[in-house]
């Protein structure tokens, strides 16, 4: 059984793979500030 945390990580990994294929550079993952969290920071 896949937990929601594991499913989220699998989804993020798939998104990163797609972004890299499209030429994006991944700058950070799970960036946190006092305002919240950003799962993927890419340029």
Q: What is the pLDDT of residue 12?
A: 97
Task: Assign 42 a pLDDT band (cuts: 50, 70, 90).
Answer: very high
Q: What is the pLDDT of residue 19?
A: 99
Q: Which residues contact 7 (CB under 8 A, 6 or more apart)?
A: none
Transcribe the chain into DSSP letters.
---HHHHHHHHHHHHHHHHHHTTPPEEEEEEEETTEEEEEEE-
State both tokens at 1.
């059984």
Q: What percent of the chain is modeled with pLDDT above 90?
A: 95
pTM higher than 0.85 for the full model?
A: no
Q: What is the pLDDT of residue 17?
A: 99
Rounded CA-CA distance 43/27 in Å is: 7
Q: pLDDT tens across 22-37, in order?
A: 999 999 999 999 999 9
Rounded CA-CA distance 35/22 in Å is: 29
Mean pLDDT value across the chain: 96
């Amino acid at each position: 059984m896949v937990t929601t945390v594991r499913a989220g990580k699998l989804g993020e990994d798939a998104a990163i793979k797609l972004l890299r294929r499209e030429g994006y550079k991944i700058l950070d993952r799970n960036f946190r500030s006092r305002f919240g969290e950003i799962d993927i920071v890419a340029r």
